[in-house]
Amino acid sequence: MPHTSGLVNNNPFAMFAPHPVGVTFEGQEAGEEIILLLRQHVITLVPAFIITIFFMLIPFIVSSILLVVGINLSDLLTSAQIFLITVFWYLFVFGYAFYRLLFWYFNVYLLTNERIVDFDFRGILHKEISYAGLGQIEDVSPKMIGFFGTFFNFGNVFIQTAGAKNEFEFEKVAKPDDVAQEISEQVRAEQGEAPGVVA
């Protein structure tokens, strides 16, 4: 019995989503079903969140420092200019936060009943999609390292395959043991099927 059978996930921001509702992917075959959708653990967004909060506070910090050293910005710039600079700064902060959220949201790992898929969007001009059939998977090993990994139950899952890209790495995913178990069960199910059957 597959580990995630019977579970359905409606949360569009889920980091561990068994049978996600309303999600498809480019190149999905007829009858191919997404068993598991994974994103990096949400805790990996904490540094970006802290940086965003810090950026949001910078205008207050800068104006306080300038006041302390005896420079009054309103003497140097008009209120319209100060307003435009503030709008510009918060646009930049929004851009940073949106960029980080997007790349977290769209960097997904999929396990289907036929293959594993790794959507890799690194940086603004880098898109890489890797596929490996379940029949090509030779070895799956979950790895949890460090305090945060152990405490929040996330880590990497290394998948050794016989394909052109011989190693897949699901990075910083939640419940790596469950992911590895689910992949192994799907591989066993695939091995029991007749060649070419999509089920």
Partner 1 sequence: MPFESFLAFDFLNISAIFVFKAFLLLFLIFYSVFALILFRQVQLMAKAIPTFISPFLKFVAIIHVGVAVALLFVIIQLF
Looking at the Cβ atoms of 118 and 142, the one nearer to partner 1 is: 118
Give the x/- contact pattern for partner 1 in 55-74, rule: CB under 8 A. ----------------x---
Q: How far apart (Å, rounded) are the C-alpha atoms in residues 85 and 95?
A: 15
Which of 50, 65, 87, 198: binder of partner 1 (CB under 8 A)?
Answer: 87
Which of 49, 54, 92, 151: binder of partner 1 (CB under 8 A)?
Answer: 92
Q: How far apart (Å, rounded) are the C-alpha atoms in residues 36 and 109?
A: 8
Site for partner 1 in 14-53 (CB under 8 A): 20, 22-26
Which of 125, 145, 164, 194: binder of partner 1 (CB under 8 A)?
Answer: 125
Q: Counting contacts by CB under 8 A, is residue 180 touching partner 1? A: no
Give every CB contact of residue 107 below 8 A, 6+ residues apart in sequence. Answer: 39, 40, 119, 120, 121, 122
Residue whose pair of structure tokens reads 């960097």 in the numeric block: 107
Q: How far apart (Å, rounded) are the C-alpha atoms in residues 141 and 180?
A: 7
8 Å CB contact between 181 and 109: no
Structure tokens, 111: 């396990």
CB of 12 to partner 1, least distance (A): 5
Q: Counting contacts by CB under 8 A, is residue 124 touching partner 1? A: yes
43: DSSP letter:
G
8 Å CB contact between 181 and 13: no
Which residues of the chain form contacts with partner 1 (CB under 8 A)?
A: 12, 20, 22-26, 71, 76-77, 80-81, 84-85, 87-88, 91-92, 94-95, 98-99, 102, 105-106, 108, 119, 121, 124-125, 127, 129
